[in-house]
Structure 1
Amino acid sequence: MNLSIVIPLLNEQESLPELHNWIKKVMDSHNFSYEIWFIDDGSTDHSWQIIQSLSKENPNVKGIRFFRNYGKSQALHAGFARTNGDVVITMDADLQDSPDEIPELYNMITQGDYDLVSGWKKKRYDSVIGKNLPSKLFNWAARKTSGVKLHDFNCGLKAYNKNVVKNIEVSGEMHRYIPVLAKNAGFSKIGEKVVQHQARKYGHSKFGMNRFINGFLDLITIWFLSTFGKRPMHLFGALGVLMFLIGFISAGFIGFFKLWKLYHQEPTILVTDNPWFYISLATMVIGTQLFLAGFLGEIILRTKSDEERYKIEQEF
């Protein structure tokens, strides 16, 4: 099979028929063998009923319905696990991503130049204050932190070699950082393509300030996981030892000067009246806790089992 198209969605009943017909037209015109996975992430409108009717009309349409809204990352995870195509395309369901871009994205992957190609919506039709400016700040921070030189990390339109989606773990809210996850997994051929961005035709954007804040928090998380995720003791253990040594050396100086004053019969104060006593005590306690955190992290890493991150209500 040439292509698998994975489309996560939430309450997009108006756009689904038009999107399906558009994709089908492109697929038929290029003689692609394909499958379309619609992942209904807990929609409360008639999106699922429309997906069911589309599957009766087109046997290449497949669907997954979650019991409730689990998030885009979980939807992509479920779709990636079921894809059969040599190339996997992801796109949003709101008609802001153009299916006409798919053939060129497909060629960029199959020609062997790239493992992953991310869309770049160079000209956007979103609100400047509400989405454009936050996205620019977010993408700048992501480039600086991850080392992956992309202009638009959050673009839903991406193309993957099948090996990429089968070897990365998309969880939490990490869908924004799939290129970083791919890089960390050893897929270094990551490219970018300027794609057409269209104004939203139906419904309203689900982007909010909470998603902007969460994006930066996830950026910190993925930096930590990519750097110390397999060796937490290297971070927490090192910090713990450093803090403990600072406290131990401070306590040593307090004891030394106490003995020095006693030896020279000079007036002294109680050790507990010296503020450095509490500083040294606190740093040793914190150092011990950090060391234990690293130790526990290593134990958890070696004994953890895969958890079920979402519940599927229906699938066909």
Structure 2
Amino acid sequence: MNLSIIIPLLNESESLPELHSWIVRVMTANHFSYEVIFIDDGSTDNSWKLIETLSAQDPNVKGIRFLRNYGKSQALHAGFAKAQGDVIITMDADLQDSPDEIPELYHMITDQQYDLVSGWKKKRYDSVVAKNLPSKLFNWAARKTSGVQLNDFNCGLKAYKNIVIKNIEVSGEMHRYIPVLAKNAGFAKIGEKVVIHQARKYGTTKFGMERFINGFLDLITIWFLSRFGKRPMHLFGALGVLMFSIGFLSAGYIGFSKLFRLYHHQHTILVTSNPWFYIALTTMIIGTQLFLAGFLGEIILRTKNNEERYKIAEKVNI
């Protein structure tokens, strides 16, 4: 099979028939063998009924419905697990991503041997204040932190080799950072393509300003996981030793100072009256706690079990 097209969605019933027809038209024109996997992330409208109807009419259409809204990352995870194509395309269901971009993305993977190609919505039709400016700041921070030189981490239109999506773990809200996850997994050839961005035709956006706050928090998380996810003791242990050493040296300074005063028959004060006593006590406690955090992190890492992160209510053609 040439292509698996994975489309997570939430309340996009108005867009689905048009999107499906558009995809079929592009696939037929390019003679692709394909599957379209719709993941209904807890829609409350008629989206799932439409997916069932489309799957009955077109055997290439498959569907997964979550019991409730779990988020885009979980939807992509479910789609990645079922995808069978040599090349995987992800796109949004709101018609802002153009299926006409798919053939070129496909050939960038197969002919130019990219591991991953990310779309770049160079010209956007979103609100400048609500999306464009925060997105530019977010992308700048992501480039600086991750080392992956992409202009648009948030673009939902991406193409992957099958081996890439089978070897990365998308959890939490990490869908924004799939290129970073791919790089950390060893897939270094990451490309970018300018893609058409269209104004939303139906409904309203499902994302608000909070996604950028969450995005920055996730960026810190992925930076930590990429550097210390497999060895938390290297960070917490080192910080713990540093803090404990500061405390130990402070305590030594207090003891030396008291002995010096006694030796020279000078007036001495209570140890608890010396501010260095509290610095020593605090830093030694913090150092011990950090060391224990690293130790517990190592134990959890070695004993954790993979937990089910979402519940699937129904499937069609899968």
CA distance in 1, matches of 2:10, 2:131: 19
CA distance in 1, matches of 2:110, 2:304: 36
How far off is 1:275 after superposition?
A: 1.0
Per the alignment, residue 197 of structure 2 pairs with: 197
How far off is 1:210 after superposition?
A: 1.1
CA distance in 2, matches of 1:222, 1:13: 33
107-116 or 12-21, which deviates more: 107-116
Per the alignment, residue 244 of structure 2 pairs with: 244
| Contact persistence 1:11–1:43 (CA under 8 A) | yes
Aligned to 1:77, what secondary structure does the other structure show? Answer: helix
Identity over aligned pairs, percent = 81
| Contact persistence 1:15–1:95 (CA under 8 A) | yes
CA distance in 2, matches of 1:29, 1:57: 19
Per the alignment, residue 150 of structure 1 pairs with: 150
Per the alignment, residue 233 of structure 2 pairs with: 233
Per the alignment, residue 303 of structure 2 pairs with: 303
Please identify runs of 4+ aligned residues in structure 1 that moved more than 6 A. none
Per the alignment, residue 56 of structure 1 pairs with: 56
Per the alignment, residue 223 of structure 1 pairs with: 223
How far off is 1:111 after superposition?
A: 1.1
CA distance in 2, matches of 1:272, 1:112: 70
| Contact persistence 1:131–1:207 (CA under 8 A) | no
Aligned to 1:186, what secondary structure does the other structure show? Answer: coil
Aligned to 2:88, what secondary structure does the other structure show? Answer: strand
Aligned to 2:69, what secondary structure does the other structure show? Answer: coil
Q: TM-score, normalised by structure 2?
A: 0.99
How far off is 1:112 after superposition?
A: 4.1
| Contact persistence 1:8–1:38 (CA under 8 A) | yes
Deviations for 1:80-110, whole angstroms, at most 9, x for unmatched residues? 0000000000000000000000000000001
Per the alignment, residue 120 of structure 2 pairs with: 120
CA distance in 2, matches of 1:118, 1:249: 52
How far off is 1:57 after superposition?
A: 1.0
Q: Does 1:47 align with 2:47?
A: yes
Structure-to-structure mapping, 1:1-316, within 5 angstroms = 1-316=1-316
| Contact persistence 1:41–1:68 (CA under 8 A) | yes
CA distance in 1, matches of 2:66, 2:35: 19
CA distance in 2, matches of 1:134, 1:71: 21
Deviations for 1:174-201, whole angstroms, at most 9, x for unmatched residues? 0000000000000000000000000000
Q: Which one-letter code corresponds to 2:75 in the other structure?
A: A
Gaps of 5+ in 1: none
CA distance in 1, matches of 2:112, 2:242: 47
Q: Which one-letter code corresponds to 1:217 in the other structure?
A: L
How far off is 1:113 after superposition?
A: 2.7
